[in-house]
Amino acid sequence: MRFAAIADWADSGEFEIGFMCREPGVSRSGYYAWRRRSPSPREQADTGLVAAIKQVHERLRDNPGVRRVHAELITLGHTVSPKRAWRLMRDVGLHRRHPKAWKRTTVDASATRLHGG
């Protein structure tokens, strides 16, 4: 996480890399090794799952929740837990649209007289 913060600042060019590495207490060589590192197998798998989740979400137009997306991923042959599906959906910004709850707050006075209330 520290390296990602340094990378954001380094890309803007406002501060020197050495200064940004000294402040949080990380080495410059560690930062540059992090920049060169390829994505981990888990990150690569997450990228594939995100693509599948987006396809499922688009195909099920009534805004599916995590349970339905998870079930669809299982039927497509992906091995994924519900929590991982939820995390990936959250990270991408996909969520179910919940209808607003409606509650009757007042009762017409004439209706109570008709029913003996």
Query: Could you state, in order of their start, the residue ranges of all structural domains in the chain?
Result: 2-36, 41-92
Q: Which two tokens stand for residue 101?
A: 């709850």
pTM value is 0.62
Q: Which helix (H) or strand (E) element contains residue 46? A: helix 41-59
Rounded to whole angstroms, how far apart are CA atoms 67 and 74?
11
The answer to whether residue 68 scores a pLDDT higher than 80 is yes
* Amino acid 111: pLDDT: 62
The answer to whether residue 114 scores a pLDDT higher than 80 is no
The answer to whether residue 33 scores a pLDDT higher than 80 is yes
* Amino acid 28: pLDDT: 84
State the average pLDDT for the chain.
83
Whether residue 28 contacts residue 21, with contact meaning beta carbons closer than 8 Å, is answered with yes
pLDDT band for position 50 (cuts 50, 70, 90): very high
Rounded to whole angstroms, how far apart are CA atoms 8 and 12?
7
* Amino acid 117: pLDDT: 52
